[in-house]
Amino acid sequence: MTTHYDVVIVGAGLVGLSLAPALARTGLSVALIDRGPLADVEADAETFDARVYAISPGSAGFLRTVGGWQALDGERVAPIESMHVEGDGGGSIDFSAYDLGERALAWIVEERELRSALLRTARRSGIDMIANATLDTLAWSASAATLKLADGRAVDARLIVGADGARSWVRESAGIVAEPKSYGQTAVVANFACERAHHGRAYQWFRDDGGVLAWLPLPGRRMSMVWSAPDALAQTLLAEETGALSARVADAGHRMLGALECITPPAGFPLRFLRLPTSVALRLALVGDAAHGVHPLAGQGVNLGFGDAQTLAAVLAERGPVTDAGAPILLERYARRRAEPVLAMQTVTDGLARLFSPPTPWLKALRNAGISAVDRLPVLKRALAQPALR
């Protein structure tokens, strides 16, 4: 038995969950399918999720339009009001939300909290949700794409959206081949209680070993660490007992927030770069990590994904007399609108990651001088910050 939809979204991560209600608002029939459960995770007032995201003002605006942002518990969201970035040789640059005319440079939100808020929003939008699905086959014809599940069910749609992550099954089924390229680094994440208040200030240090250490403010005297460390160091960090890890992280950040106490077990995520030859194909659009991968040093991976969702929803909302959600003219329009911002962000993040990886002394001096020079040029600094605010 086959159920028919305008759009089927495969993958209920944050991007897929935001896209579903956005598309439902345009009058399309939508189904959201995921391999895992689609159930809320109960929040624990005493603990914070180790995995957090820096949500840009532009992404927050998009999430507000679909109803997800206002579903968050405001007590568990922290603004980044300023940011201090240091190079590996004395160079530094500071950003201020006030100087840029923004309430915050970004908002730090736990993955667990944002996912639960978007799940509630998706349910209220009236879409069909299929959980714990084992995907079997995906086939295309001129008029529709048909997705068969292992339990015998099938759905077909004018448009299939792959929102199923960096190792996308949908992308592979479509024959879009691109192997993610490893940075040789692992992002180690953990949360810490801090001796000193952070005052909404984030910190980022480029390190001599090519890694990047970031401290992001959480509500209260807490902060979230993201240490993009060479794989060998990452394994050491993950294996350390909490007291030793707390001391190491505090020292690595020059004890800017005083003594630290690790309050969540550390977790690690391998870092990969992914650039595809195309993000669309016959009756297919890719969004989020299925469409691109970036280094997390600017915290822009999920924001690029929300940009994909916002753009695809806008293209389909503006479809006019075109009734087919998978029409080539619409997919080409989506790909064209996303090509420049994705390429620009990949170029900047990948370029910075590579710029700070070689130990060459003259290059080290040059890149740190460059950072400090940008800090003294407000117009250039504003231009550098603007893409991260979208």
Max distance between CA atoms of the chain, in angstroms, equals 66
Contact status, residue 221 vs residue 194, Cβ threshold 8 Å? yes
Residue 319 binned pLDDT confidence (cut-offs 50, 70, 90)? very high
Mean pLDDT of 225-241: 96
pLDDT surpasses 60 at 82: yes
Query: Per-residue pLDDT averaged across 342-370, rounded?
Result: 73
Worst-scoring range by mean pLDDT, 107-116, 128-137, 204-213, 278-287? 204-213
Whether residue 378 is predicted with pLDDT greater than 70 in this model: the reply is no
Return the percentage of the chain with pLDDT > 70, whole number: 90
The pTM of the full predicted model, rounded to 2 decimals, is 0.92
The chain-wide mean pLDDT, for the chain, equals 91
Question: pLDDT, tens digit, for every residue of 163-222?
Answer: 999 999 999 999 998 888 899 999 999 999 999 999 999 999 988 888 999 999 999 999
pLDDT tens across 243-284, in order? Answer: 999 999 999 999 999 999 999 999 999 999 999 999 999 999
Q: Which of 20-34, 199-213, 339-353, 360-374 has the highest mean pLDDT?
A: 20-34
Give the per-residue pLDDT at 300: 82
Q: How far apart are CA 208 and CA 250, in angstroms?
A: 17
CB 176 within 8 A of CB 247: no
Q: What is the pLDDT of residue 382?
A: 67
Q: How large is the angle between the packed helices 111-124 and 14-24, nearest 10 degrees?
A: 20
CA gap 122, 20 in Å, rounded: 6
* CB 173 within 8 Å of CB 24: no
Above 70 in pLDDT, residue 305? yes
- Tell me which residue has tokens 């460390």: 229
Q: Is 80 exceeded by the pLDDT of residue 70?
A: yes
Report how far apart, in Å, the C-alpha atoms of 312 and of each of 36, 161, 309, 362 are.
24, 10, 5, 45
Two structure tokens written together for 117:
């808020």
Across 54-89, b (16+ Cβ under 10 Å) vs e yields bbbbbbbebbeebbbbebbeeebbbbbbbbebbbbb
How confident is the model over 124-145, as a mean pLDDT?
95
pLDDT interval class at 368 (50, 70, 90): low
Pairing relation of β-strands 222-230 and 181-194?
A: antiparallel
Which whole number is the average pLDDT over 215-236? 96
Give the per-residue pLDDT at 210.
85
Alpha-carbon gap, residue 207 to 374, rounded angstroms:
19
Highest mean pLDDT among 108-122, 291-305, 358-372: 108-122
CA angle 214-219-221, nearest 5°?
A: 75
Burial profile 315-348: b = 16 or more Cβ within 10 angstroms, e = fewer: bbeebeeeeebbbeebbebbbebbeebbeebbeb
